Structure 1
Amino acid sequence: MPVVTKPKLVLLVSVIVLCAVAWSLLTKHNKMQYPPSSQIKIGVSLTPLSSPFLIAEQLGIFKEMNLDVTLYPCSSGAACTELMIERNVDYATASESVVMFQSFERDDLSLLASFVESDNDLKLLTLVPFKIGGVKDLAGRKVGVVKGTASEFYLDSVLISNNVEKQLIEKVYLQPHELVPALLSYRVEAISAWEPMGFQADLLSVAEVTNLGVKGIYQLSFNLISRSPYLEFVGDEPVRLLQALDMAIEWINSNPDEALKMIASRLDIPHNQVEWSWEDYLFRLSLGNSLLSNLQLQARWAIESDLVSAEPPDFRQVFYSHPYQQLIAQRD
C-alpha cells in the first residue's frame, strides 16, 4: 500500500476544499437561476387580446421561467377582476376602463404592465337600412351601449369629436351579449361595441353593417393586474411572469401567422374571426404616460357622467412599476 506523504496529503486536502467551494458556488448559481417554482392562478379573458398568456402556456414559456401557471377563463376583464378581488385567482387581465372604475372603489389594486393595445377595437355600428350617413344623423336615434364601460366612453368620445350633444341621442343600456341581437332585430339603430361583436354583426346581419366610429379616438389596452397585499410576499414572481409574457410577445411578433392559427385553435373560434382584428393589435409590454393619461381622462369622464361620486384616485399609485423596471433593466 503506497504511503501518503505530508505534501501529498496537503495537496489532496486542498483539492477537496476547492471542489467543495466550487460545488457550493455552482449550487448557489443554480439556485439563483432557478428559484423555487411559483404556483399561480391567472384570470384570463377568452379573447385574442389575451394572446401573450395563451401563447406562453402553449409554448411552455411559463415553465421555462419556473412558473406553475393555471389560466382561469373569464368572459370579460370585469369578470376576471372579480375573481381576483374574491381571491380565487392571483392575477387578472383587464382593460384600463375596469382598472379605472375599480380604483375608485378600492386602494389595493396594482397594475403591473399593459401587454396589448388597439386603436380600432371599439366601433359604432349601424345598418344601412337605417339611413344613418354619419354621427350627426344619430340625433333622435336609439344607441345601444353597455353602461359605465369602454362602450359608453367610446360613444361619448365620438359624439364630442363630431360636436353632437349627448342629450340628442337616446342611450339604451344593454348587457354585452344583448348588443348585436338588439341591432339586428332593429330594437336600436346603432351600437357602441367592442370586438368580436363587430365581426358577429357583420357575419350575422342580412343588411350591410356600417361603422360610424373614428379609428384612433380611443386606445384600448389590456393589462395585467393584481392586489398589492399579494405582491408584497411573492418575491421576484412578478418579474418572471413579465419575462414570460415578454418572450411570448416576441414570438407572436416574429410569427404572426402561426400565432394567429394557435390562438384560433386555443379559443376554438374560426380563423377568420381572429384575423378580423389581428392587424389592429399591438402586442408589447409597456407602463408609461399614455396609459396614465388614458386612465386620468376616463376618470374625468366618469365623474362628469355621474358614474362615480368620489374624488379621482392618483393612478400613479396604482402603477406597480418595480417588476417592469427590473425587466427593462435586464433587457439592457
Structure 2
Amino acid sequence: MGKSQKIAFWGGLAFVIIAGFVMVGTFLNQESDRARRSVKIAVSQTPLSAPFLIAQNNKLFQKQGIDVSLIPCFGGVACAKSLFDGQVDFATASESVVMFQSFKHDDIRLIASFVESDNDLKLLALKNQNIHSIQDLYGKRVGVIKASASEFYLDSILIANNVTDMAYTKVYLPPQELMNSLLSYQLDAISIWEPYGYKTTISSASDVTNLGLQGIYQLSFNLISRQQLIAELGDETHKVLSALDEAISWIQAHPEEARAIIARQLDVPANQLKWSWDDYVFRLSLGNALLTNLQLQARWAIEKQLVPNQQPDYRSIFASKPFEDALDIKVKTR
C-alpha cells in the first residue's frame, strides 16, 4: 500500500469513526429529549404561587434538569379543571378544592403544601349598603366561588357567629366576576381571596367592610396531580419539589427582591402585593395538620349535602414519596 493510499485509508477510517460518534450522540440526545418531556403546571395567578414564579425566574427548574411550563389560571378550581381535563401534569389548589375534587376523582394526589395563610380570605361588603355585621346579611345576596376555600370560609364565619340558620342567598360566580358584582350592587357581600380583597378596597367609591375573622381559617395552597401522571413522570415530581424548596429559601433570604419579581410577573402594583405578603408562610410540608383540615372540611361538605355521603381516605390521597425523596436529597446535599 502506497503512502497516498495509507493516508486515504486512515483518513476514511477516522471519518467513519467520527460520524459514528456523531450519530450515537444524536440518537442519545433524541432519546433524552423524548424521555424529558415538558412538564406543565397550572399555576394560579396569585402571590400564593410565588415559589413557582421565583423558580421559573431564577431558572431553578432547569437547575434540576427538568423542562417546566407554567400555565396561568385564575383560582384553584380552574387550575384543577385543567388537570382533570388532561391539559397539565400538575396544578396548584387550596385544600378546599382538593377536598371537593376528591369526591369526584379517586386518583387525585396531594404532593405537598407550599404556602399557608390565616388572612388570605375576606368577607367584604360596602358600608354605604348599611352592612356592618354578619347579622346584616339576613335576606342578602352573598357571592362565593363554588367548591372552593371561598365557600368554606363563608360557612366558617357563619358558624363562628352562631347564625348558621340565617336566611340569605348564596350566589356562585368565578372570582373575576365577584368584585365587579359587589361594586355594581348586584351582590351585597362577597367571600373572596387576595388579591381581590385589595382590588375591591381600592376600586370602591364606598368604604369596604371586612366581616371576616382573621385566623378562623388556615388556607393552604398545594401542588396536586393524578396517580398515573406521578407514576409516568418518575423522579421529575420530586425535582419540581426540590426547585420549589430552593425558591422558598431564596424568597426568605431576599423578600424585597422576591416581591419585586412577583409584582412584575403578575403585573400588580407593589403596594397591592405588600398588602398581603406578610400573611404568607412559605414552606414545603405534608403533615397531620393538612390531613385534619381536609377531614374537617369533608365532614362540613357532607353535612351541607354538597358532596356524596362517603368521605374519602385522605391518607391514601397524600403522595408522600416525592416529598420524602426531595427532603432526602436536600439532606444529602448539605
Structure 1 counterpart SS, 2:206: coil
Structure 1 counterpart SS, 2:205: coil
**Counterpart in 2 of 1:221?**
220
Q: Is the 8 A contact 2:42 2:79 kept in 1?
A: yes
TM-score when normalising by structure 1: 0.85
Instruction: Call closer, same or farther: CA 1:171–1:234 in 2, change over 3 Å.
Output: closer
Q: Is the 8 A contact 1:84 1:90 kept in 2?
A: yes
TM-fit CA distance, 1:308: 1.0
Q: How many angstroms apart in 2 are the aligned matches of 1:274 and 1:251? A: 18
Structure 1 counterpart SS, 2:43: strand
Structure 2 counterpart SS, 1:105: coil
Instruction: Call closer, same or farther: CA 1:179–1:90 in 2, change over 3 Å.
Output: same
CA deviation string 1:250-299 (max 9, x = no partner):
00011111000001111122222212211111111000111111111111
Q: How many angstroms apart in 2 are the aligned matches of 1:139 and 1:123? A: 18
Map residues 175-254 of structure 1 onto 2, 5 A cutoff: 175-254=174-253
Q: How many angstroms apart in 1 are the aligned matches of 2:88 and 2:193? A: 25
**Counterpart in 2 of 1:71?**
70
TM-fit CA distance, 1:50: 0.9
The one-letter amino acid of 2:267's match is D
Q: How many angstroms apart in 1 are the aligned matches of 2:69 and 2:47? A: 18
Instruction: Call closer, same or farther: CA 1:174–1:235 in 2, change over 3 Å.
Output: closer
Q: How many angstroms apart in 1 are the aligned matches of 2:233 and 2:268? A: 35
Q: How many angstroms apart in 2 are the aligned matches of 1:40 and 1:139? A: 48
The number of aligned residues is: 299
The RMSD of aligned alpha carbons is 1.9
Q: How many angstroms apart in 1 are the aligned matches of 2:147 and 2:37? A: 36
The one-letter amino acid of 1:125's match is L
**Counterpart in 2 of 1:294?**
293
Q: How many angstroms apart in 2 are the aligned matches of 1:40 and 1:331? A: 22
Instruction: Call closer, same or farther: CA 1:174–1:70 in 2, change over 3 Å.
Output: closer
Structure 1 counterpart SS, 2:39: strand
The one-letter amino acid of 1:208's match is D
Indicate the larger mover: 264-273 or 109-118: 264-273
TM-score when normalising by structure 2: 0.85
Q: Is the 8 A contact 2:97 2:147 kept in 1?
A: no
Q: How many angstroms apart in 1 are the aligned matches of 2:183 and 2:254? A: 37
TM-fit CA distance, 1:168: 2.9
CA deviation string 1:60-109 (max 9, x = no partner):
11111111111111122222222222222111111111111111011111
Map residues 1-332 of structure 1 onto 2, 5 A cutoff: 37=36, 39-332=38-331
Q: Is the 8 A contact 2:114 2:283 kept in 1?
A: yes
Q: How many angstroms apart in 2 are the aligned matches of 1:233 and 1:182? A: 43
TM-fit CA distance, 1:41: 1.3
Q: How many angstroms apart in 1 are the aligned matches of 2:313 and 2:248? A: 29
Structure 1 counterpart SS, 2:179: helix
Q: How many angstroms apart in 2 are the aligned matches of 1:79 and 1:188? A: 22
Q: How many angstroms apart in 1 are the aligned matches of 2:304 and 2:166? A: 12
Instruction: Call closer, same or farther: CA 1:146–1:84 in 2, change over 3 Å.
Output: closer
Structure 2 counterpart SS, 1:111: strand
Q: Is the 8 A contact 2:77 2:147 kept in 1?
A: no
TM-fit CA distance, 1:38: 5.5
The one-letter amino acid of 2:163's match is V
TM-fit CA distance, 1:165: 2.5
Instruction: Call closer, same or farther: CA 1:175–1:46 in 2, change over 3 Å.
Output: closer
Q: Which runs of 5+ in 1 are unaligned?
A: 1-33
Q: Which runs of 5+ in 2 are unaligned?
A: 1-31
Q: Is the 8 A contact 2:74 2:175 kept in 1?
A: no
Q: How many angstroms apart in 2 are the aligned matches of 1:330 and 1:229? A: 23
The one-letter amino acid of 1:202's match is T
